Amino acid sequence: MDSTNPFFSFDPNKCIACARCVRACDEMQGTFAISMFGRGFDSSVTAGNDVGFCRVELCFLRRVREGMPDRRALRESRRAHGKPDYVTQTTCAYCGVGCNFDVGVRAGRIVSMRPVDASPVNWGHACVKGRFGWDYVYSQDRLKKPIKRVGEKWVEIEWDEALGMVASEFKRVKEQYGPDALAAVSSSRGTNEENYLMQKFMRCTIGSNNVDNCARVCHSATVSGMMEVFGTWAATNSLNDLEKTKLLMVIGANPTEGHPVTGARINVPSGAARNSSSLIRARSSCAGMRSFICS
């Protein structure tokens, strides 16, 4: 048994040497961190120069089991709480890619996060943040109730009281100064449905078109160029076009770090490089995903 990795424990006794994990590491992630070592019945999966097991997402016999043996989050792991009672689907909010996950819940607590194989966004792929970074949900520093300033202190209040205060203030400002005195800034980390509801709320309930998005500031330079060339500031291609394009230009973005699942589709041999496409990277100070231009 190898329990040196902070996210996985590896049991080679259950390995059938199918090499599916090796192919996933090479062809999906482009990491080339693991390989098959030995021949015949002596074949086994090793990490690097046999220095300890590293990241593997896919395994036919589940020989890699979830757990966080060397972290404080061990008590939040599936090993500590057992298998989930039920599974529900959600959208990861770490970045704007929108990967779909099956969330395993047991006794009201998250015990596992597994990427959805049939998701048209990530196709069973996930980065380490989306796959294992869910323990922040139970952080002691996280606010779990609304707080209101009373003098110099902040006190917790109930949700109904907080929503009533917000609605009352919105109504007061609208009646006193007009609907255009209010504005909303939506988030790129929200789902399409959440952003749609935000703009619908502002336009229909408040009566104002003052709706903005946090991506517009760092995206403004690309917006200007794309409007001039393409006539639209929005993305001109789908993620699936990354595997069909002959030329890919990445402007002011670091998708490998900022959006790892999309970055993998660009860099790995089974992605854009499979069709011998050219990759042009234009440097910028912004590390977010500004734009991809495919042709």
* pLDDT digits 0-9 by tens, 42-97: 888 887 766 665 545 444 334 454 543 334 444 445 556 678 899 999 988 888 78
CA atoms within 13 A on the CB side of 144: 6
* Three-state DSSP string of 263-288: HHHHHCCCCHHHHCCEEEEECCCCCC
pLDDT of residue 22: 86
Alpha helical stretches, state H, the chain: 20-23, 78-81, 128-132, 159-177, 192-200, 216-229, 255-258, 260-267
Q: For the segment 157-214, what is each residue's pLDDT rounded down to a tens digit?
A: 999 999 999 999 999 999 999 999 999 998 877 888 899 999 999 999 999 999 988 7
Q: 35 pairs with which residues across the strands?
A: 46
Task: Give me 250's structure tokens.
Answer: 């990445």
Q: Which residue has the higher pLDDT, 87 or 229?
A: 87
Asked if 54 contacts 7 with a C-beta cutoff of 8 angstroms, the reply is no
Check: pTM over 0.85? Answer yes or no. Answer: no
23: left (phi over 0), alpha (psi -120 to 50) or beta: alpha
Alpha carbon distance 91, 115 (integer Å): 10
Which tokens in the block code for residue 218? 């760092």
Here the tokens at position 13 are 């006794």
Is residue 15's pLDDT more than 80? yes
User: Is 126 exposed, middle or buried, given 0-12, 13-18 or 19+ CB atoms closer than 10 A?
Assistant: buried
